Amino acid sequence: MTKNGRPDEDGLIARYFRPLATAPGADRLLDDAASYNPPEGFEIVLTTDAVVAGVHFFPEDPPDAVARKALRVNLSDLAAKGAEPVGYLLTIALTEDWSEDWLESFCEGLAADQEDFGVALYGGDTVRTPGPLLISVTAFGIAPKGHVPRRTKAVPGQKLYVTGTIGDAALGLKIRLDGTLAKRWGLSTGEAEHLLDRYLLPEPRLKAAELMAEFATASMDISDGLAGDLGRMCSASDVGAVLDAGLVPLSDPAAKAVEEDPSALATILTGGDDYEVLAAIEPERAADFEEAARLIDLDVTQIGIVTQPFTGRVRVERFGQPLVLDRLAFRHF
């Protein structure tokens, strides 16, 4: 114990993090390193994403939601790459005033998500920082060998699909920053809460992983706004794309917001934190892809097509007319 009654690093690991290290390879976090044996025929997929208080989440967000978001944004990357998640390593930079209550709730969030998503903690590091709380997660999973879809493999003529609905989280953030906005958009409390929740706690599309490994040539998760992330995929693949804003799937609250305030559409197309999956599918496989998605109860919607490369990479249209957006992507950085 340290002088203020809080546990030291070893004590903190033992009390809060050890119960999360349920995989044998993590050796109850008694070690500096973990081991993992991938099954025959699979490759390892690795990704890392960090979140900073005041930049990626609000310092006053519930700690369990902060933990789950930090984990989920990584699981979202794995799902987009066709990988089944296995485990994660966690670096947490705690501020001087960290409290045991906060950490307990944080770890409860992790435990709940570990249960829901079938992952375990494999290791981590706890450091002190005089700056804001920072959480960095490295997640890993497994995908059938040679079936990891890449951002770089989109080909002209392919159909572009997204999972779920787009823009909810970005609208949720706007509502959170502007107390009167939900009312001006005519949203009920329940509708506003749907958008707020989508910002607070993304839902990684783990169900999409198997479909991505089977059908997508190129895929990615949408974290910085659909239009901008599509632009990144186009750059990486050296192609262009037409995005039909009228096809972009909206939740009921988002549709209501756009009806009330057409400028909300730009937020939807360029805001961040969707954590849905964007995929490029060969046209002759599109029907099979849609059917496979239907069978696992995963909403997928065609939102555009891949084209030959052109300057600007992405043309956004609505009712066949170009739609000009101020900026394509939300920049966390």
Instruction: Please report, as ranges, the residues that interact with its own copies according to CB under 8 A.
Output: 8-10, 12, 25, 27, 30-38, 43-52, 54-56, 77-78, 80-81, 83, 89-91, 93, 122-132, 134, 136, 138, 140, 143, 145, 148, 150-152, 220-221, 223, 232, 236, 331-333
Least Å distance, CB 246 to its own copies, is: 28
Least Å distance, CB 253 to its own copies, is: 28
Residue 305: CB atoms within 10 A of its CB come to 17
Judged by CB, which is closer to its own copies: 46, or 292?
46
Judged by CB, which is closer to its own copies: 12, or 200?
12
For residues 307 and 235, is the Cβ–Cβ distance under 8 A? no
Judged by CB, which is closer to its own copies: 12, or 182?
12
**What's the number of CA atoms in the CB half-sphere (13 Å) around residue 246?**
7
Least Å distance, CB 8 to its own copies, is: 6
Kindly give, in sequence order, each residue whose CB lies less than 8 Å from that of residue 65, ignoring residues fewer than 6 positions away: 57, 109, 200, 201
Judged by CB, which is closer to its own copies: 7, or 157?
7
Q: What is the DSSP string of 171-210?
A: HHHHHHH-TTHHHHTT--HHHHHHHHHHHHS----TTHHH
Least Å distance, CB 110 to its own copies, is: 15
The tokens describing 78, both together, are: 């794995």
Least Å distance, CB 95 to its own copies, is: 8
Judged by CB, which is closer to its own copies: 2, or 188?
2
- Nearest residue to 117 (alpha-carbon basis) of 139, 138, 148, 145: 139
